Structure 1
C-alpha cells in the first residue's frame, strides 16, 4: 500500500512464493525512493538484484590481495631457506617468520594507501571503529602502517609495538564485522582507493591474522 503512494507506480504485484514484488511504473524509479517509502516498515527491504552469472568470481575480485599474501609467504620461505643454508638455527624462530611476514604485509598494503591518502581515508571512515569517531586517524593510518612495517623488518621487537599493533588490528576487525552485517556492501580500504574490493571474509581473515600474530609476538 505504501509503495502505491509513489506517483510513478501504477501496479504492485506481490509473489509470496519468491518473496518478491513486481512493480509496474510509468517513469524511472530510484532504489532510494523505494527504500524511503518503506522506511517505517523495517521488516521489509528492497535491494538491487545481482545477476549471479555476471557476478565477479571470488579469485577475480580479491586477486590483488591474494597475490600479495602469496608473495609474502614466498618471501618468508626464502628467508627461512637462507637461514637453514647458513645453519643459523638460533635465528630461525616462529617469531622471526611472523616478524618478516608482518613487516612485508604492512609495507605492501601501506604503499597502495599512500598513493591516495584522502581517497583511502574516505573509505576507511565508513567502517573502521576508530576512524569513524576520529577522522584524522584515517589520514594518519597509511603512514603508521608503513612505520609498523619498517619497525618489524628492523627487528624492533618490543612489547609496546605488539600491543599497539594488536589494538589497531582489533579496531579494524570490529569495524569489518559490523560492516559485514549490513545489507549494503561497503568498499574495503585495505588497498587504498584504487581497487574495488568489498569488505568480506578476506578482509576479516586479513585483520584477524594480523591481530593473532601481534598477540603471539607478545608471548
Structure 2
C-alpha cells in the first residue's frame, strides 16, 4: 500500500471491502516503535467471524495522519465491511453483537474471576492437605484466600480504592486514614486466618478481631448506603475504578470477614 492509496479516501477503502466473499478492509497502525494492539484484536475478530481481511498497515506517522485526514477519523484502526465503514475495535464489537461496557455500566466479571480463582485455590489446598473433603475447612480456606485476593486488588492503587471507599464507608468518612489502612487490615486478617486454620493457636485472638471489626463496619456501611438510603454506587471491593455495583457482593465480603472471625474464635473457645 502506498501513501496515495491511503489519501484516496473512504471510497477506495469501501470498494476494497466489497465482493462476493466475506471480505473486510482493515487499516491499522504498525510503526516500528508501536504496534497497535487494537488493530491486532480487530484483525483477529474479523478472521474469527470468517472474513478475509485486506490488512493495510500504516507504518509511519505521515501515513497515519494522511489516513485520518482522508477518512475524517481521529483514531485507528478502522474497518470496512461490505462497503460500510464500521470503525475501530469497539465499533466492531458492537457490530458483531458483543456487549461493550460504557463508563457507567456495571459488571460482575471481576468478582466472578476472583471468586472462581480463589475457590479453585482453596480446592487445591484442601485436596492436597486433608483426607477426604472437609466442606467446612474448604469454606474457611476459600474465604481466607478470597480476603487476600480482594486486598491485593485494593493495594494495586490505594488512592483509587480510598476514593471509592469514602463514598459509603461510615468510619472512613469520619476518619480518612482508616480508608488507607483498610486494605492492609484485610490482608492481615486474610493471611492470618490462612496461617491459623485448624491450629487452635491463641494467635487467633490477634487476627479474628480485625476481621470482625472491619467486616462489621463495612456491612453496616453497605446496608445504610444501599438498602436504607437507596444510593447507586460502585463497589470498591475490587479496588478503585471498578464497575462492580455496590450491594450484595460488598455486603457478602464484609459479612464473610466478620463471620470468619467469629467462627474462628468460636472454634478456639470450644476446643
Please report the TM-score for the alignment, with normalisation by the length of structure 1: 0.63
Which residue does the alignment assign to 1:78? 124
Task: Tell me whether 1:173 sits opposite 2:212 in the alignment.
Answer: no
**Matches for 1:22-61 after TM superposition, within 5 Å:** 61=107
Q: Deviations over 1:6-48 (max 9, x none)?
A: xxxxxxxxxxxxxxxxxxxxxxxxxxxxxxxxxxxxxxxxxxx
Q: Give 1:154 deviation, angstroms.
A: 2.3
2:241 aligned to 179, 194, 209, which one? 194
Q: Distance in 2 between matches of 1:193 and 1:64?
A: 12
CA distance in 2: counterparts of 1:101 and 1:124, whole angstroms: 24
Instruction: State the 1:204 CA deviation.
Output: 1.7
2:173 is matched with 132
Number of equivalenced pairs: 158
Provide the rounded CA distance (Å) in 2 between the counterparts of 1:83 and 1:144. 27
Bigger relative contact order, structure 1 or 2 (CA pairs below 8 A, ≥6 apart): 1
CA-CA distance at 1:171 after TM superposition = 0.2
Partner-residue secondary structure (3-state), 1:148: helix
CA-based RMSD of the aligned residues comes to 2.6
Structure 1 or 2, whichever has the larger Rg, is 2
- Are 2:160 and 1:119 aligned? yes
How far, CA to CA, are the matches of 1:175 and 1:75 in structure 2? Answer: 30
Gaps of 5+ in 1: 1-53
SS in 1 for 2:246: coil
1:206: which partner in 2? 253
| Structure 2 unmatched ranges of 5 or more | 1-98, 267-271
Which residue of structure 2 lines up, in the alignment, with residue 185 of structure 1? 232
Q: In structure 2, how many angstroms separate the alpha carbons of the residues matched to 1:199 and 1:173? A: 11
Contact 1:129-1:175 within 8 A present in 2 as well: yes
State how far apart, in whole Å, the 1-side matches of 2:126 and 2:230 are: 44
- By how many angstroms is 1:149 displaced? 2.4
Structure 2 Cα separation of the partners of residues 98 and 159 of structure 1: 20
2:188 match: 147
Of 151, 164, 184, which residue of structure 2 is paired with 1:110? 151
SS state at 1:218 partner: helix
Richer in helix (by share): 2
Partner SS for 2:232: coil
Q: Is the 8 A contact 1:98 1:213 kept in 2?
A: no
